[in-house]
Amino acid sequence: MVETAGGEGLLFLTDEQLRKGIEAMFFAYRGFTADPDRILDGMDYGRAHHRAIHFVHRSPGTTVSNLLAILGVTKQSLNRVLRTLIDDGLVRSEKGRVDARERHLFLTEKGLILERELSDAQRARMRAAYRAAGPSAVQGFRQVLEAMMDPEMRKQYNRLKEGG
């Protein structure tokens, strides 16, 4: 079943196969973001707000710097998004006790409700895809995605995957 090196074993590395993978990523990512985008469309929020909400939920009490590193945007860009979320009462910003320069971020009750709505939708699609493909396909899926990340991003990803 599994091809080994030499000759036919490298057929999965042809330009044609690689192109299919590239196009699969393109179309799948559209599906991946479609449901949350639809939910956010009515509100004053966008994909950037979703990302901030996701990672604040994922690591409650995380700092702004930390979030900047994960999201890979400028602080000005993140600040604009965070500002509206704080003003609207979805995110709470708390001055650090050990280092008072830092701001620790948390979702409020209201923020948790939206997070739940967004992630329910996104998980539903992911669950359907996982179920359709089966567990060993899922394992392969994750392996290829991890290998595709930049090393820096892989660190961030693994830090999230393990610790809180």
Partner DNA sequence: TTGGAAAGTCAACAAGGCTGACGTAAATTC
Partner DNA sequence: GAATTTACGTCAGCCTTGTTGACTTTCCAA
Strand-pair category, 103-107 with 62-63: antiparallel
Give the separation between CA 73 and CA 69, rounded to whole angstroms. Answer: 8
DSSP bridge partners of 107: 91
The least CB distance from residue 43 to DNA, in Å, is: 9
Cβ atoms of 48 and 40 within 8 Å: the answer is: no
Q: Which is nearer to DNA, 13 or 100 (CB)?
A: 100
**Pick 34 or 43: Cβ nearer a second copy:** 34
Report what 93 binds from a second copy, DNA, none; CB cut-off 5-8 Å by kind. DNA
Choose, by CB under 7 A, the member of 25, 39, 48, 126 that binds DNA.
Answer: 48
Number of residues located near DNA, criterion CB under 7 A: 32
Least gap, CB of 84 to a second copy (angstroms): 21
Partner from DNA, a second copy, none binding residue 45, C-beta < 5-8 Å depending on class: DNA
| Cα 130 from Cα 157, distance rounded (Å) | 20
What is the distance between the alpha carbons of residues 37 and 47, in angstroms, rounded to a whole number? 6
Of 6 and 87, the one with the shorter C-beta distance to a second copy is: 6
Cβ-contact 125, 32 below 8 angstroms: yes
CA pair distance 115, 60, nearest whole angstrom: 13
Q: Which amino acid is at 31?
A: G
Binding DNA (rule: CB under 7 A), the pick from 33, 59, 93, 119 is 93
Q: What is the nearest approach in angstroms of DNA to the Cβ of residue 137?
A: 29
Strands of the sheet with 91-95, listed across from one edge = 62-63, 103-107, 91-95
| 105 three-class SS | strand
Which spans of this chain sit near a second copy (rule: CB under 8 A)?
A: 1-3, 9, 11-13, 15, 17-32, 34, 51, 54, 58, 72, 119, 122-123, 125-150, 153-154, 156-157, 160-161
Q: How far is the CB of 91 from DNA (least distance, A)?
A: 10
